[in-house]
Chains A and B, each alone.
Chain A
């Protein structure tokens, strides 16, 4: 992206970055001629890759969540056409593992992705040759991609996740004993990582939407006068919550078609 010559000052923020609509509508990939569907598929595929790799690397869920948000954000600055999605997914999980204080060796990351790819192509298990050019090349690609991610995201890479909000909010709503509700909200939150909601809404809003959806699905009544979620995020208007809900539902529907094939294959 061209650096604007005129600006008033540099502002670093610890809050999750919320992108304006224009930036979400016209992505670099689409400017390069990639179709919207293809881009969505690549986003979901990359996130699935990250999730599967994170499980194999025995990382806590928060590392996968961070990696997926970084991956999504990165492709609002750079194009899928120019930057390989698989390398970027590797870089994101590698970086997120460090950010969340569970570092993994780059060799393990490369190897896990190699393993997943072989599984997908239904090839027999094989360990990558560490002396091979292929390994050496992959490794340096990942390190370069990691730096690109850091640079494009301005080193604002510490993502805030709604997990804790969900737990706290449910406690306040006196639903913290309902494990089914917590688990459902949790699943919605992890599914929503495949979408762009983290670039659109604050973690508080996302937490509210996840609770709303789960409560509705389970038929649990929550205070509606005033609507309970207004308490948790003052900046949220009802509209936003609904918009978010729609986008989460959309993405979940889409996921049904997409099938979590990567994870399934590994589980088998």
Chain B
């Protein structure tokens, strides 16, 4: 949202300048104004259009400045943003905006409010400081707090409520901002055994979360530090449920229109990430949050990172096992957005039947489970399959048929099954993109996706201090690995139970047990 606001602000000023220019030349010499100003502004508009085209094609263009001794990937990604403000017509942005119109409408109240607040508080990085202060004085009484200038706030600005969960990279707490009284989620970054200073993974997480501002991605408010700087917390908006725990508490799976509603929101978030050159690399139901307003939000960017063109070699040990795509399991090192799309397919299946689609016990078991349902791949359907590192070493039992339909007979129409199969396509090059998936016929079919505001609500487990049962937990994401078990509320936090929490007061619950 920051970006978008800035965009609109700067675009306006650009128009203003054009206007000013017209006015100026009119007053300067009235008789020739009409003829003289048009080439000038024509030049401006032409150039702007040129930049617009140029930037979009440029982002993927690798050949530009080889001589300039700069790492292309980095500059391309940063340059793209540098220029963003100029090109209000950049196709990806606009698409994204129009697709979100729908979502924005759903949550009109919430999102618009936030929008407005931010517009008022936005720190405009214009060079003229007098303009900044004037603008701030005219719109808000109090200046905003700018961590970039004033430093991080202390965690003491929050009151602890309770612990919610342990993510891949840290523990998450529910807390209250003492200044605004808002309930937030505080995620403590794991720092203990870092021998190389501040972990690069946490830097990536913070950076990608900040860049990926979207209604369906959890919003980062700020980063705060403990008194000794020994503890660092990401302050995020508090969202009541995670979908994994929620589904465990439900006796029946989601209805088809509920599934479609969730999938549309998930795809919209994934599309936004991929448009912004971000791979999530750990999509799974326990990382998807659901608010009481029926808004799905992608969380936990502990494994996310930016990617560029051309692709570079990244570790193939990413994505939680059950949601990991076959190319990663087979040891491919060069991968892209398709890894997230496979996870989306697994999540789709899980939404439908309330059970994980491929709950493998090991990497080989995972592959076997996939092959059992989808058939063993070969070079015809996946060119280059036999050349993959693991495929060269291991021979898999031949299972020639795709039997996935048997598992979803009752839940899926032919269109729905087609979509599922496109997510679970073996060849990553042929796998469907988030954008195409959003336009898939399945979402046009009856029953239509439910409006998020109509989504049923459940009491929030995360406010009750109840930990998800160990047995049903999906395996943890790689790298961060070995969960440390910290006992109870030994850290001396104040604990509130539901009698005081949001769940107790929330009227109009539609209990669904």
Contact = CB atoms under 8 A, between A and B. Distances in A.
Interface of A: 1, 3-4, 6-23, 60-62, 77, 94-95, 98-103, 105-106, 142-144, 146-148, 150-165, 167-168, 171-172, 179, 182-183, 186, 200-205, 223, 225-226, 230-232, 234-237, 240
Contact of A154 (B73, B142, B151, B180): B151
Central interface residue in B81, B127, B128, by most chain A CB within 10 Å: B127
A102 B67 CA distance: 20
Most chain B C-beta atoms within 10 Å of own C-beta, residue among A10, A15, A142, A225: A10
A163 B77 CA distance: 11
B10 A234 contact: yes
A12 B16 CA distance: 27
Nearest to A19: B149
Top 6 closest A-B pairs, CB basis? Answer: A164-B79, A154-B147, A156-B148, A234-B14, A60-B71, A20-B129
B415 interface: no
A139 B71 CA distance: 28
Given A15-B6, A60-B70, A168-B54, 16 more contacts: A4-B143, A4-B150, A8-B140, A10-B145, A22-B129, A60-B69, A62-B74, A103-B200, A154-B149, A159-B78, A164-B80, A164-B83, A172-B54, A200-B127, A226-B21, A226-B44
Contact of A146 (B47, B67, B143, B197): B197
A101 B73 CA distance: 10
Contacts of A103: 196, 200
A11 B68 contact: no
B353 interface: no
Contacts of A230: 17, 44
Contacts of A150: 152, 198, 232
A95 B47 CA distance: 38
Contacts of B64: 167, 171
Residue of B17, B58, B76, B211 with most chain A CB atoms under a 10 A cut-off: B17
Given A8-B142, A17-B146, A168 B225 contact: no
Given A8-B143, A160-B82, A106 B71 contact: no
B210 A18 contact: no
B40 interface: yes
Contacts of A154: 146-152, 222-223
B153 interface: yes
Contacts of B122: 11, 13
Contacts of A6: 142
Given A10-B153, A19-B149, A95-B198, A164 B144 contact: no
Nearest to B41: A226
B147 to A, nearest CB: 3
B26 to A, nearest CB: 14
Given A20-B133, A21-B129, A165-B83, A100 B74 contact: yes
Contacts of B55: 168
A136 to B, nearest CB: 12
5 contacts: A11-B144, A13-B125, A62-B74, A95-B197, A142-B197
Contacts, number: 239
Nearest to B21: A226
Q: What size tier do the contact residues of chain B reach?
A: 35 or more
Contacts of B464: none
Contacts of B402: none
Nearest to A22: B129
B3 A14 contact: yes
A202 B74 contact: no
A14 B118 CA distance: 14
B221 interface: yes
B465 interface: no
A182 to B, nearest CB: 7
A11 B206 contact: no
B203 A98 contact: yes
Contacts of A172: 47, 50-51, 54
Contacts of A77: 149, 151
Contacts of B54: 168, 171-172
A18 B125 contact: yes
B48 interface: yes
Contact of A167 (B65, B143, B210): B65
Contact of B207 (A158, A182, A236): A158
A106 B75 contact: no
A257 B286 CA distance: 60
A226 B43 contact: yes
Interface in B55-110: 55, 58, 64-65, 67-71, 73-76, 78-83, 86
A171 to B, nearest CB: 7
Contacts of B142: 6-8
A18 B81 contact: no
A130 to B, nearest CB: 13
A186 B55 CA distance: 20
B392 interface: no
Given A21-B129, A154-B222, A3 B150 contact: yes
